Chains A and B, each alone.
Chain A
Amino acid sequence: MDDLLSEFLTETAESLDVVDVELVRFESDPSNKATLNNIFRLVHTIKGTCGFIGLPRLESVAHAGETLLGKFRDGALPVTPQAVSLVLVSIDRIKLLLAHLAAEQVEPAGDDRDLIALLELAAEGGDALAPVAAPVVVVAEPVAEPQAEGEGKWDADQGRFLRPGEVSLADLEAAFMATEGPAEKPDVREAKPVLAALPDHDDEKKGSIGANTIRVNVGVLESLMTMVSELVLTRNQLMQMLRNSGDSEFKTPLQRLSGITAELQDAVMKTRMQPIGSAWKKLPRIVRDASQDLAKKIDLVMEGEGTELDRQVLELIKDPLTHMIRNSCDHGVEKPADRAAAGKPEMGTIRLRAYHQGGHIIVELGDDGAGLNTDRIRRKAVEKGVIDGVEAMAMTDAQIHRLIFAPGFSTAEKVTSISGRGVGMDVVKTNVEAIGGTIDLRSRQGAGATFIIKIPLTLAIVSALIVGVEDHRFALPQLSVLELVRTGQRCEHKIELINSSRVLRLRDRLLPLVSLAEVLNMIVDPVDQKQLSSIVVMQVGETRFGLIVDEVFDTEEIVVKPLSKRLGSMSEYSGATILGDGAVIMILDPNGISKSVANVDRSVERLLDEQAAASATHGASSAAAERTSMLLFTAGGEQPRACPLSLVTRLEELDASRFEATARGLVVQYRGRLMPLASAGGEIRRHGKQPVLVFSQGESVIGLVVDRILDIVEDVLDIQIGDESPGVLGSAVLKGVSTEIIDIGCFLTRADPRWAVATAQLETQRGRKRVLLIESHPFFRNLLGPVVTAAGYDVTIAKTPEEARARLESGGAFDVVLADADNPQAEISEGQNVIAMSSRTDTEAVPKSDRHALLEAIARAVRLGEAA
Chain B
Amino acid sequence: MSTREFVTFRIGDQTFGVSVSEIHDVFRPASMTPVPLSGADIAGVLNLRGRIVTAIDARSRLGLKSSVKTKSCQRLAIGVERGGESFGLIIDEIGDVVRIDESALEQNPVNLDATWSWVSRGVCRLDDRLLVIMDIDRMLAGSGAEEAAAA
Contact = CB atoms under 8 A, between A and B. Distances in A.
B54 A578 contact: no
A567 B35 contact: yes
Contact of B33 (A522, A565, A584): A584
Given A572-B37, A583-B31, A586-B33, A564 B54 contact: yes
A584 B50 contact: no
Interface stretch (B14-22, B40-48, B96-104, B120-128): B40-48
Contacts of A584: 33, 45-47, 52
Among A472, A521, A566, A576: residue with most chain B CB under 10 A: A566
Contact of A566 (B36, B47, B54): B54
Nearest to A230: B50
A520 interface: yes
A682 interface: no
Given A564-B85, A566-B140, A567-B42, A582 B33 contact: no
Interface string A561-591: 1001111001011001010001111100000
B2 interface: no
A485 B95 CA distance: 54
Nearest to A471: B34
A557 to B, nearest CB: 16
A564 B140 CA distance: 11
Given A564-B85, A566-B42, A586-B45, A233 B50 contact: yes
B33 A520 contact: no
11 contacts: A473-B33, A520-B37, A564-B87, A565-B83, A566-B42, A566-B54, A567-B38, A572-B37, A583-B31, A586-B33, A586-B35
Contacts of B12: none
Contacts of B83: 565
Interface in A51-106: none
A576 B38 CA distance: 14
A594 to B, nearest CB: 16
Given A472-B36, A566-B38, A570-B37, 9 more contacts: A230-B50, A520-B37, A564-B87, A565-B85, A566-B42, A566-B142, A572-B37, A576-B52, A583-B47
Interface in A117-150: none
B66 to A, nearest CB: 15
A797 to B, nearest CB: 56
A472 B50 contact: no
Nearest to B39: A566
Contact of A472 (B33, B39, B47, B140): B33
A521 B37 CA distance: 7
Nearest to A579: B47
Contact of A578 (B37, B38, B52): B52
A611 to B, nearest CB: 27
Contacts of A564: 45, 52, 54, 85, 87
A234 to B, nearest CB: 8
Interface of A: 230, 233-234, 472-473, 520-522, 561, 564-567, 570, 572-573, 576, 578, 582-586
A252 B17 CA distance: 51
Contacts of B56: 566
Contact of B45 (A473, A572, A576): A576
Nearest to A571: B37
B142 A582 contact: no
B36, B46, B83, B85 pick with most chain A CB within 10 angstroms: B36
B29 to A, nearest CB: 11
Given A230-B50, A566-B54, A522 B85 contact: no
A573 B38 CA distance: 10
Nearest to A586: B35
Contacts of B140: 566
Nearest to B54: A564
Question: Which of the listed residues B45, B54, B56, B83 has the most CB atoms from chain A within 10 Å of its own CB?
Answer: B45
Nearest to B31: A583
A585 B35 CA distance: 9
A768 B36 CA distance: 62
Residue among A230, A567, A570 with most chain B CB within 10 A: A567
Nearest to A474: B36
A31 B83 CA distance: 59
B89 to A, nearest CB: 12
Contacts of B45: 564, 567, 576, 584, 586
A837 B95 CA distance: 76
A237 to B, nearest CB: 9
Contact of B54 (A233, A567, A570): A567
Given A565-B83, A565-B85, A472 B54 contact: no
B145 to A, nearest CB: 10
A573 B85 CA distance: 17
A521 B36 contact: yes
Contacts of A234: 50
B150 to A, nearest CB: 19
Q: Which of B35, B39, B83, B140 counts the most chain A CB atoms within 10 A?
A: B35
Contacts of B46: 584
- In the A-B complex, the 8 residue pairs with the closest CB atoms: A520-B36, A564-B54, A584-B45, A584-B47, A584-B33, A564-B85, A578-B47, A561-B52
Contacts of B31: 582-583
Contacts of A520: 36-37
Nearest to A517: B36
A583 B38 contact: no
Contacts of B39: 566
A67 B36 CA distance: 68
A632 to B, nearest CB: 35
A472 B52 contact: no
Q: Which of A233, A234, A521, A564 has the most chain B CB atoms inside 10 A of its CB? A: A564
**Best-surrounded residue of B39, B46, B47 (most CB of chain A within 10 A):** B47
Nearest to B144: A569
A578 B48 CA distance: 10
A460 to B, nearest CB: 15
A522 B36 contact: yes
Contacts of B42: 566-567
Interface in B73-100: 83, 85, 87
Contacts of B33: 472-473, 583-586
Nearest to A470: B36
Nearest to A572: B37
A284 B23 CA distance: 55
Interface in B92-151: 140, 142
A585 B46 CA distance: 8
A226 to B, nearest CB: 12
Contacts of A583: 31, 33, 47
B43 to A, nearest CB: 11
A375 B35 CA distance: 43
A561 to B, nearest CB: 5
Contacts of A522: 36
Contacts of A586: 33, 35, 45
Given A566-B142, A578-B47, A582-B47, A472 B38 contact: no
A234 B56 CA distance: 27
Nearest to A578: B47
